Structure 1
Amino acid sequence: MSELDGAIAVVGMAGRWPGANEPARLWANLAAGERTIASTVEGVTDWDAEFFGISEEEARIIDPQHRLLLECAWEAMESAGHPPGTDSGVTSVFAGCSFPSYLVNNLATDPEVLAAHDELELVLANERDALTSRLAYQLDLRGPSVTVQTFSSTSLVAVHLACQSLLTEESDFALAGAAAIRVPLEPRPGICRSFDAAADGRVIGDGVAVVALKRLADAVADGDHVWCVIRGTAVNNAGSARPGYAAPGMAAQAEVMIEALAAAELSAEDVSYVEAHATGTPQGDAVELGALERAYCPREDTLLLGSCTANLGHLEGASGVTGLIKVASMLHNAFLPPQIDFDTPSPALVAAPSLRVNTEATKWTRGDGPLRAGVSSVGLGGVNAHVVLEEPPQRPVRSAEELAGPHLILLSAKTPAALEEAAVRLRDHLVAEPEVELCDVAYTLQIGRNAFKCRRALLCTDRAHAIELLTTPGPAPDVAESWLAGEAVDWRASHDGRTRLRVPLPTYPFQRRQCWVGPTEER
């Protein structure tokens, strides 16, 4: 059996969080130890409905959670270099969202909305049952579309189900995630002291998080950018062996971690870090620490712990995939961000000497094997999930001849303004990411992006030339005339067998328009 068999690659990531509208910004905030709990998610009150062919009137009654999840699903696929309508194969989606507070607090209190829309219209625009089926319809996804609802563990349970769908070859590409946006939009100030002796309760935050997944063997064969590898997943329920329905169960949390390690065919000591659920409640943190000690200890070394809940607040159903995106960035950069607002270990942490909260920003050093980490998520009602992750495999080393130009850069968008913004974002990306090869940028844009009606083509000799052309528009080269004219072109044949790789690039720049419906007294 190949080491690639049974493993899943995270090939795309997208999201919206307090203080961050993309994973790169989220990672920058986490690496710097920023606290953004009091911030709200941008873009909740507006949306690029026209991009998805949705009328302004319909857009106004669609739950913002559905809106943002649809955008993030598109971005996750596009960031993977497999946008809707290209070569993704059978694509499935597993996702959930929080309580439909937009319907309850905004639409249902507006007589004009109730007079203009019947019950079915409001149901289709707001019911959680419609969440993933609408997404599949808008993106033309043909695999299973399943809404997952397990309270705070929703998105990590969705990852588990997506992995199972891929491993059984039910689907070739999968999206997993969740949205958690509460209306009315209000900053929720506070401090979440995960695992600290002064922890006094959770702080609720808003967020959306989505990952795109493929079988690792397929991702490697297709030259995909792999953020990290999912080695094993597990889901269980605590049953009745706990004080009450809403209480966590230590034994079940430990068991789901052990099961995920077994699925990954790894021992506890193969994992050096765990991204914990860690809501900052004394009881919840004590139970989770006890479960971590049962599953990962005793051990000769120290297991490092952290949780982005302290940075962002508790993101409910979106928390699990947000933690996965954080750890994927950690593995990709071999870097441990600092745990903030942690001063004095809680009694439960003191009682577990093999567990240590990581409070310093530092390089993540490898031992005998690759870097590995766990991600935990705990749902109200007892549904627990755990995922074991590993750093991505090395990408092939190529000769100077393989990397040589010239390179054809293609950009397209649905509007002239979006096309101009796309050029600016690509230019800024090339400046900020000098290690990304221009040949791979060109390849990803040629085969990993949809072709829209507004188009631009640039023939570049090297990176500096590309940055110059993106800054100062020039005439289109003859080689791209057919594409600029709207003809279908298969660019794969133009690479003469040279190794080309998909790389993460700026995603489609949505052009937002106001589509908010407020309560009557606010109108």
Structure 2
Amino acid sequence: MTSTHRQDRDPIAVVGMACRLPGASGIADFWQVLDSGLDTTSEVPATRFDIDALHDPVPRTAGRIVTRRGGFLDGIEDFDADFFGMAERDAMRLDPGHRLLLEVAWEAVEDAGLTTTQLAGSRTGVYTSVLSTEYWDMLVGAGMIDLRAATGAGSWGLAAGWISHAFDLRGPAVGVDATCAASLIAVQEACRSLWFGESDKAIVGGVNLLLSPNLYLGLSQAGVLSPDGRCRFGDADANGYVRSEGAAVVVLKRMSDALADGDRIHALVRGTSVTSNGSSGGPMVAPSVEGQRAMLLAAHRDAGVDAAEIDYVEAHGPGTPAGDAAELTALAEVLGQRRGGDPCLVGSAKTNIGHTEVAAGLVGLIKTALALKHRRIPPTLHVTRPNPVLAEFADVLGLATAATPWADRGRPRMAGVSSFGLSGVNAHVVLEEAPAVLSAQRRDRAMPGFLLPISAR
């Protein structure tokens, strides 16, 4: 097969990654959860809200929640305000999601081998996606409204500004809101900024916290939540999705800059796309095969790759009957071209940790980058009867229900990551495994020793 990869622009290198997810305090923990096939969801803790008072197992009961489960983080109330040069009273007025994103962004920068001192004053862009935690309403109820509260919890888009301010960054600082597709669209915006020369580096982050039962109530009334709290993407008995908390951040650079700087590269972004369903198939929230097909074709065209080169797709995969059927059908129609009996594997991290909503696209990107690094595709859980679409297109698609070695086909391993939003928007990123060779600069800087940090920063 002749590669059609674009030669007119640099790929974008993922040089730093960090996350906080249910059962995983970082990317090493997350890989362990994925590779071991663990489900880290749990019952709603009393520190969020009283699920006993709100639960009703009868679907669509008004004012009640059909499930008792979700994915939750420990210690979301903890924050080292002094570390970020913030007074305690000011930190109290900063949305917990913004606080968490600050911490995880710092960890991603460290993973990239950078310091905030090095970044200060640089053309580093920040792109964030944050779902409202309703913390503003809590501050109003507590009588804690002032200017700091307005800038700390008054808008979801302020999270990017807080990171730029804390790290003294001079590139764009943009909040992206596109429901569950938001963080993957933020990746596209960051890539475009790097490709157009607007930024030299980019920090992209997404965070989701479930502090209030309000959205739980609305989603339960709509019938989209799994009553038993299990995400069954790709299963004929899929019955809804599982809400989850989480934060994920990546640091991006142009590949030529990353190689020149001797960076470790987790994976490469080859191309991206964003489409909208328009009115193609019913209500705005309904999944659209047509819209997703257009998304995949546009992403492959932007990346300069053939559909047959895609080995794996990290699906949006929430485990809703209509959503799974539409997504699998679109994948089969696009990826089936010229595969020659070599099915593309698909999977979903939502079966492990639940659906982190606005952060889900970045979670999927990090999972896929880790799979490329380890050359192994983790299992998708809770599948007993495969979705009929998989049987129909068995020569094109295969569900990764067991840890699977990522075969060497004599070319770089390639993958796609999808994310869809309730607003009818679809986003996709094409990833490629990191280059096998290190730059001469990195080899020259290799040191026969270890650095022992002895201060917090």
What range is the shorter-chain TM-score in?
A: 0.7 to 0.9
1:61 aligns with 2:93: yes
Q: Counterpart of 1:46 in 2: which secondary structure? A: coil
1:191 aligns with 2:230: yes
Structure 1's 59 and 165: CA in aligned 2 closer, same or farther, altered over 3 A? same
Contact 1:247 1:381 in 2 (8 A): no
1:254 aligns with 2:299: no
287-296 or 227-236, larger mean C-alpha shift: 287-296
* Equivalent in the alignment of 1:70: 102
* Equivalent in the alignment of 1:150: 178
* Equivalent in the alignment of 2:26: 22
Distance 1:12 1:164 in 2: 18
Of the three residues 361, 364, 371, the one matched with 1:323 is 364
Of the three residues 62, 72, 84, the one matched with 1:40 is 72
Contact 2:129 2:207 in 1 (8 A): yes
Q: Counterpart of 1:380 in 2: which secondary structure? A: coil
- CA apart distance, 1:9: 0.3
- CA apart distance, 1:336: 1.3
- CA apart distance, 1:18: 0.3
* Number of residue pairs aligned between Structure 1 and Structure 2: 406
1:91 aligns with 2:111: no
Distance 2:269 2:446 in 1: 34
* Equivalent in the alignment of 1:391: 433
TM-score for both structures, normalised by structure 2: 0.84
Structure 1's 405 and 241: CA in aligned 2 closer, same or farther, altered over 3 A? closer
Letter in 1 for 2:351: A
Q: Counterpart of 2:451 in 1: which secondary structure? A: strand
Contact 2:133 2:212 in 1 (8 A): no
Distance 1:257 1:302 in 2: 17
TM-score for both structures, normalised by structure 1: 0.74
- CA apart distance, 1:75: 1.1
63-72 or 79-88, larger mean C-alpha shift: 79-88
- CA apart distance, 1:71: 0.9
* Equivalent in the alignment of 1:80: 112
Q: Structure 1: give runs of 5+ residues left out of the alignment.
A: 415-451, 453-523
Distance 1:57 1:206 in 2: 25
Distance 1:405 1:143 in 2: 33
List per-residue Cα deviations over 1:479-501 (Å, max 9, x = no partner).
xxxxxxxxxxxxxxxxxxxxxxx
- CA apart distance, 1:129: 2.8
Distance 1:60 1:316 in 2: 25
Letter in 1 for 2:245: D
Distance 1:36 1:207 in 2: 12
Contact 2:312 2:415 in 1 (8 A): yes
Q: Counterpart of 1:413 in 2: which secondary structure? A: coil
* Equivalent in the alignment of 2:247: 208
Identity across matched positions, percent: 40
1:31 aligns with 2:39: no
- CA apart distance, 1:5: 3.5
Distance 2:346 2:334 in 1: 14
* Equivalent in the alignment of 1:165: 193
Distance 1:220 1:254 in 2: 34
Equivalent runs, 1:158-307 vs 2, <5 Å: 158-184=186-212, 190-298=229-337, 299-300=339-340, 301-307=342-348
Letter in 1 for 2:388: P
Of the three residues 408, 416, 423, the one matched with 1:381 is 423
Distance 2:160 2:324 in 1: 32
- CA apart distance, 1:405: 6.0
Distance 1:409 1:376 in 2: 38
Contact 2:284 2:423 in 1 (8 A): yes
Q: Counterpart of 1:374 in 2: which secondary structure? A: strand
Contact 1:5 1:217 in 2 (8 A): no
Letter in 1 for 2:152: A
Q: Counterpart of 2:157 in 1: which secondary structure? A: helix
* Equivalent in the alignment of 2:159: 131
Mark the structure with the bigger radius of gyration: 1
Structure 1's 67 and 87: CA in aligned 2 closer, same or farther, altered over 3 A? closer
* Equivalent in the alignment of 2:398: 356
Distance 1:250 1:123 in 2: 41
- CA apart distance, 1:100: 3.0
- CA apart distance, 1:130: 1.5
Contact 1:5 1:216 in 2 (8 A): no
Contact 1:310 1:340 in 2 (8 A): yes
Equivalent runs, 1:336-355 vs 2, <5 Å: 336-353=377-394, 354-355=396-397
Contact 1:235 1:386 in 2 (8 A): yes
Contact 1:210 1:321 in 2 (8 A): yes
Q: Structure 2: give runs of 5+ residues left out of the alignment.
A: 43-70, 217-226
- CA apart distance, 1:15: 1.1
Letter in 1 for 2:233: S
Contact 1:189 1:203 in 2 (8 A): no
Contact 2:93 2:152 in 1 (8 A): yes
- CA apart distance, 1:2: 9.2
- CA apart distance, 1:343: 1.5
Letter in 2 for 1:71: E
Structure 1's 59 and 7: CA in aligned 2 closer, same or farther, altered over 3 A? same
Contact 1:101 1:182 in 2 (8 A): no
Equivalent runs, 1:321-470 vs 2, <5 Å: 321-353=362-394, 354-396=396-438, 407=449, 409-414=451-456
- CA apart distance, 1:252: 1.1
Of the three residues 3, 14, 18, the one matched with 1:10 is 14
Letter in 2 for 1:373: A
Distance 1:397 1:83 in 2: 21
Contact 1:15 1:207 in 2 (8 A): yes
* Equivalent in the alignment of 1:457: none
- CA apart distance, 1:281: 0.4
Distance 2:201 2:427 in 1: 21
* Equivalent in the alignment of 1:445: none
